[in-house]
Every structure is written in C-alpha cells, then in structure tokens.
Amino acid sequence: MSNKAVKNLFIYGSLFFFVIFLALTFDTMGKLDKRAPEITEDVNAGKMAWHKYDCIGCHTIFGNGSYFAPDMTKTAEKKPKEYLKKFLMDPKAVNPQASMPKLGISSEEADKLIAFLEWTSKVDTNGWPPKPILATAAGVGGKELTAGQKTYQSLGCSACHMINGIGGTTAPELTYVGGKRDRAWLTGHFKNPSAYVPNSAMPAYGNLKEKELNDLTDYMLTLKQEGKK
Amino acid sequence: MTIKHESQKIAQHFYTFAVLLFLVQVLVGIIAAVQFIWPDFFILNFNTIRTLHINALVVWLLVGFMGATYYVVSEESETELWSLPLAKFQFWATVVTITTVVLGYIIMGLYPQANILVFGTRLLNEGREYIEAPRWADVLIVISVLLFLLNCAMTVLKTKKWTGIQGVLLGGLVFLALMYLPGMMYAKSMVKDQFWWWWVVHLWVEGAWEIIAGALLAFMLMKTIGAKREVVEKWMYVEVGLVLFTGILGTGHHYYWIGTPEYWLWVGGIFSSLEPIPLLLMVWNAFRTTRETRNVENKVGLYYTVANAIFNFVGAGLWGIIHTLPQVNKWTHGTQITTAHGHLAFYGAYVLLVMAMIYVTLPAIRGVKEFNPSRAFQSFWWMTISMVFIVLTITGAGMVQTYMERLMGLDYVAVKANYNLWFWIFRAIFGVGFLIGVGIFVVDYFKLGKEPATARA
C-alpha cells in the first residue's frame, strides 16, 4: 500500500470507530437513569461535598480514584448511618486508628454525603464489587451456625467488627471479647452503647427481641482465648 | 548537530519547566509513598500530595510535548515559527497559571474550607482525579493550548509543507485539546460524571497521547539514525491507526462497573485486549529501523527512543492487558494492580518519550556536536531499575489485596496496614532510587553542552 492509502485508512478508519463510540454513548446515556435511583437535591448536595473535600484524593468510588483508602460505592449499605455521620465529622474520635483527618465536615454536609453514598450503593454496577467467595463459602459451608452467629451475620456486625481476622477494622475487634466483658455489660451495651463507651458511634440495638439479644450475648461470651476459659 | 531555525530554541523554555516539575512530581511521590506507611507524615494530607503528584506529571508531560512540537513543526515546515513572542507569552502564561493552581491546592490542603463555591464551581480544587484544576484554570489552559495550536498551524501554513509527521502530531494535539472539554461540565449523576471523565482520561492517554508518541517516534528515528521518511511515516500511520481502532472502543474497559450497561463488558473486553498490538508494532518498528542503519548520529537519543518503545509496550500494553478482561477486572478493579499499571505505563510511554525528545533535540539547541553520555545512561538505569521494582512491589501488593480483600473478604484497612506493609516500605526505598536517577538527569539537563565533551572520560 502507498503511504497515501495507509494515511486514508488511518483517517477514515478512526472516524468509523469514533462514530460507533458516539452511537454507543448516545444509547448508554438513554439507559443510565433507569439503572440508578432518582437524584434528589440531597444526593446532589452530597456529591458537591464529595468534590469539595477532594474525597477522591484518597478513596475510590465505583472503583475509580485514589487507592489509599477504602472504596465508597457500597459503604452506606454496609455501615450504620449513625456511625458514618460521627466518623465523617471526626474520624479519630470514633476510631483512634483511623488515617482520615478531621476535615471540618459539618453535620449538614455529613447528612448530604450519606444521602449521596446511599444513592451510589443502589446503582446497578453489573455486580461489582463481587461478594468475596471464600468468606461467603465459610459462612454457608461446614457446621451449622448458632442462633447468635446467625443474628451477628444478619445484622451485618462484621462490616465494622472483626472476629478471627474476618470483618471490618473501624470498630473494636471482638475475637476475645468474651474474656473481657460479662453478660450484663454486653446486653446493656447492645441496648445503649454510648452509656458504656463514651463517644461510641455504634447504633443502639434496644429494639431487638429479648431472644436475639440473649443469643448475641451468648455468642460474644464464647469468644475467648484458648486455654483461658 | 545544530538547529536550522533560531525559534526552535523556544523548546528549551518548555523543557526546563518540564524537568523542574518532574523533580517536584518525584519528590511529592516519595512523600506519598511514606504516607502509605505512616499516614500522618507531613503537613499536607495524602489527597493533596497525590493531587500534586499526578497533576505535576500530566502538566510536565504536556509542557514537554509543547516544547517538542514547536521544535518539530519549525523543522518540518523548514521555517521560523509564525510568532516567537506569542510562543514566549504562551509559555509564561502557562507557567503562571500552573503555579497559581499549585498554590491553590496547597491552600486547600491546609484549609479545606477555603475550597468555596464561586459561580457554581470550586475555587481551588474541583475534586475530580487528574482534572482537579478549578474551572477558571481550565479556561486559561484551553486558551493557552489554542494559542499554541494557532502558532503551530500558522507556521505550517507559511510554507505549506504538510509532512505526515507534523500532520499526525498536530492532529493528535487537536484531538487532545478537544478531549479536554468533556471534563469541563458538571453532572449531577456520579455515573455520568465518571462516564465523561473517562473521555478525558482514557482518550488522552490511550488515544491522543499515543498518536503524539507515534509521530514523535517517527521523527526521532529520522533524527537519530537517519531513517527514511517514507518508511517511518508508513509505520507511523499503521501504528496510530491501530491505536485509535482499538483505543476508542477500548474506553469500554472503564465502563464495566460504574453503572453503565452490560454490553460494555463485551465492547471493552474485546477492543482493549487488542490495544497492545500497535504498541508492539512500535517496538518492532524501532528495532527493525535501527538494524537497517549503521549510522547512529545520537547514541543517547536512540537509546531513549528504543527504551520508550519497549516500556510503552510493557507498561501500557502488558501491564494493562493482564487485568483488562471483565472476568479478571471484576476482582482487580480499584486495587493496587491499577496503580502498578499506571506507574509503568506513564513511565514507559510518556516519561521516556519526553526524555527521548529532550536528548534528541537538546544537543542541537545547545549547538554541540557531541556530549558526554555517561550521566544520561546512569540516570536511565537508576530510573528504570527503580521503576521496575516499584512496579513489582505494587503489583505484589495488588495481588495480595485482590486475594485477601476481594476473594477472602478481609477488611481493606487490615490488608493495607498489615499484609502489605513491607511492599510499601520497599516501594518507598525504590522511590528514593528513582529520585537519584531523576537528580542525575536534572544535572545532566542543565550541564549538557556546557562542559567539554571529554570532561568525565
């Protein structure tokens, strides 16, 4: 082929692919609103706050951004609102180990940010992020779970707490909690956490049935170091 | 080696600014690396440091492209630039704008509340990765780029010598300028926000910038070994054609998980898997053309040119394709695997490209026939070995993260702070190695041609 022919192939071929890209873009734009909840004023105000504090400078959202701090896409689905609000306003007061600095996020801004994160958690992302296969397998396979373990799972406690290496790091680890706290403390704490731990960001679970509270407490009391029973 | 036209010297203004920003980029990069181990290290938080790290990178590469383009357009058109004063004005306007933006980032880092809303846009930082520059700065940057393109176009029109190289180079730059625009509108939906944002980011680095790289590769092969124009231009058309045939629809690999329809899994998976082909072709071209000639006029320039082609393929091509299939990307998306790819791709494709252009054109600008190449080789090996190890440590961290966090379900912070700790420590150490390489390069840049060629022999 002559240079001129190759040049024409480059120009018209590129245009051809760009036109296809434009057509797909047009089609996508028509479909996006159906794949996400409605954007309220609060959601938009939350997005503005997200930009204001340059959250993307540390976090990812939909997996895009910086890789210094956790992805925020499904955060609102996993963590209680009460926790998120307190954390956003003063991270280290909630979790002294937190890397996130206190940015001066106001109470109102925190509410809007949570509304925004609730919106992102409901967007249809083609199944991303996928459920961790090994943790899922550990939950369903093997021996039958106790009633307390089932309650622990259904309430999503592991989003913040860790037991034997599985779970979040934003709240105290519970692997040996049964050796540290007694029944009265645990039950009372479930009903009103901040009465036991000042500044606690954990929501109160006073609305649980008596049986569920007892099951959960029983489970906590089994969490002890081997040989220290 | 001497320049043919006095106004080609303007390239040096741009190179100097680029080289200084490169040094800044790597210095803040080391601060960022230490913050991975010790988050409270330094007065500015990670987000500000990272913004400086990636913005300095983008800007110094763009400024490097501008300097290189002024040189090439004048050379190819066989005439002086249309307006040297305009080029100088455009240079200083760019320097002032960029410096102001950087000061704004630092102020925002110290006082987050200073990032107020003015006319519906943020004053200091737009809070969008890579395009953090506030809207007022976007407008000034666009004006600067338009003045630059006007100057180049008028120069070409003076003699009407439309060579393939400058046609493709200017075409790539016009495409680059156009693709900056989708980043300048606000979308209420985060999905739409990211959709248009990828037009800027992907169609720059895997579109417009690769076109510029293809054109400059052809130019450098002609300059360093006297390759024939007809041959390198044909290669160039094939390369940049394949870049766009695969790269435009390859944008789809960013549309897997952000709330966009499922068909992008197919479009992105297929086309982005083909994206390494033109990059491999550039390597083949560089080797084949080099083998055909024994007359090397600029050894260092050729060295960097060939290294650029190789690491463009390895960093952008190979480190990209490993996680581009949706089946893989579902698990690796948003992990350190992406960081590893980003580092090697930018180093291989664009850092080495601008450095190669500097070594190909600077001796002529400084009017020297020969220069001592030892520092250029030293800095190349310090930087390349360090970068390869930086990328290997981050790749290791990404594999651990993918396995432990994504597959096993461990907490993000637990994996980052405990299991990946040593990867971060090694990464910071190799970062210092990279800084040493950059330091040698900066010294060489300022001394090249200003000392006797045999001084260090």
What is the number of CB-based contacts under 8 A between chain A and chain B? 217
Domain boundaries, chain A: 3-34, 41-121, 136-222
The region, left, alpha or beta by phi > 0 then psi within -120 to 50, assigned to residue A167 is left
- B337, B207: one domain: yes
Which chain B residue lies closest to A124 (C-alpha atoms)?
A: B259
Residues of chain B falling short of pLDDT 50: 455-457
**ipTM greater than 0.85, yes or no?**
yes
- B361, B456: one domain: no
Distance from B9 to chain A by nearest Cα, in Å?
31
**Per-residue model confidence (pLDDT) at position A226:** 65
Chosen from B411, B412, B416, B418 to mutate, greatest number of chain A CBs within 10 A: B411
- Match 């880092």 to its residue by tokens: B109
Burial of B292 (0-12, 13-18, 19+ CB in 10 A): exposed
pLDDT digits (tens, 9 = 90+) for B377-389: 999 999 999 999 9
Query: Cβ separation of A60 and B334 shorter than 8 Å?
Result: yes
HEC sequence for A109-150? HHHHHHHHHHHHHCCCCCCCCCCCHHHHHHHHCCCCCCHHHH
Q: Please check whether residue B393 is in contact with residue B422, taking contact to mean a CB–CB distance below 8 angstroms.
A: no
Closest CA to B268 of B253, B256, B246: B253
Distance from A26 to chain B by nearest Cα, in Å?
12
Q: Specify if B218 maps to a domain.
A: yes
Which chain B residue lies closest to A132 (C-alpha atoms)?
A: B407
The torsion angle over the Cα atoms of residues A193, A195, A198 and A202, rounded to 10 degrees, is 10
**Percent of chain B topping pLDDT 70:** 99
In CATH terms, the fold of domain A136-222 is Cytochrome Bc1 Complex; Chain D, domain 2 (1.10.760)
What are the structure tokens assigned to A127, written together? 């199944």
In CATH terms, the fold of domain A41-121 is Cytochrome Bc1 Complex; Chain D, domain 2 (1.10.760)
pLDDT digits (tens, 9 = 90+) for A2-20: 899 999 999 999 999 999 9
Question: Is the peptide bond prior to B39 cis by the omega test (within 30 degrees of 0)?
Answer: no
Measured between alpha carbons, how far apart are the two ends of chain B, in Å?
Answer: 21
Query: Which residues pair with residue B117 across a beta bridge?
Result: B122
Nearest to A10 among B47, B122, B240 (CB): B240
Query: Cβ separation of B414 and A162 shorter than 8 Å?
Result: yes
Continuous H helices in B333-420:
336-345, 352-366, 374-401, 412-414
**Per-residue model confidence (pLDDT) at position B434:** 98
Is the pLDDT confidence value at A136 over 70?
A: no
Domain end (from B367, B399, B424): B367
Distances (CA, A) of B70 to A136, B141, B304, B391: 59, 17, 20, 33
**What whole-number distance in Å separates Cα of residue A180 and Cα of residue B255?**
48
**Per-residue model confidence (pLDDT) at position B2:** 84
pLDDT digits (tens, 9 = 90+) for B310-348: 999 999 999 999 999 999 999 999 999 999 999 999 999
pLDDT digits (tens, 9 = 90+) for A148-197: 988 998 898 988 999 888 888 889 999 999 999 999 999 999 999 999 99
pLDDT digits (tens, 9 = 90+) for B380-414: 999 999 999 999 999 999 999 999 999 988 899 99
- B361, B411: one domain: no
Domain end (from B315, B341, B367): B367
Is the pLDDT confidence value at A143 over 80?
A: no
Domain end (from B367, B390, B410): B367
Closest CA to B214 of B236, B246, B243: B236
Q: What one-letter code names the amino acid at A223? A: L
Decide the pairing of beta strands A162-163 and A64-65: unpaired
Residues spanned by the domain of B412: 381-457
Continuous H helices in chain A:
3-32, 41-52, 75-78, 81-89, 91-94, 107-121, 133-140, 147-154, 177-180, 183-191, 193-196, 210-222
**What whole-number distance in Å separates Cα of residue B252 and Cα of residue B273?**
11
- Match 């500097």 to its residue by tokens: B358
Q: Please check whether residue B300 is in contact with residue B356, taking contact to mean a CB–CB distance below 8 angstroms.
A: no
Is the pLDDT confidence value at A141 over 60?
A: no
pLDDT digits (tens, 9 = 90+) for B232-243: 999 999 999 999
Chosen from B111, B190, B195 to mutate, greatest number of chain A CBs within 10 A: B190
- B399, B361: one domain: no
**What whole-number distance in Å separates Cα of residue A171 and Cα of residue A182?**
19
pLDDT digits (tens, 9 = 90+) for B207-224: 999 999 999 999 999 999
Distance from B346 to chain A by nearest Cα, in Å?
16
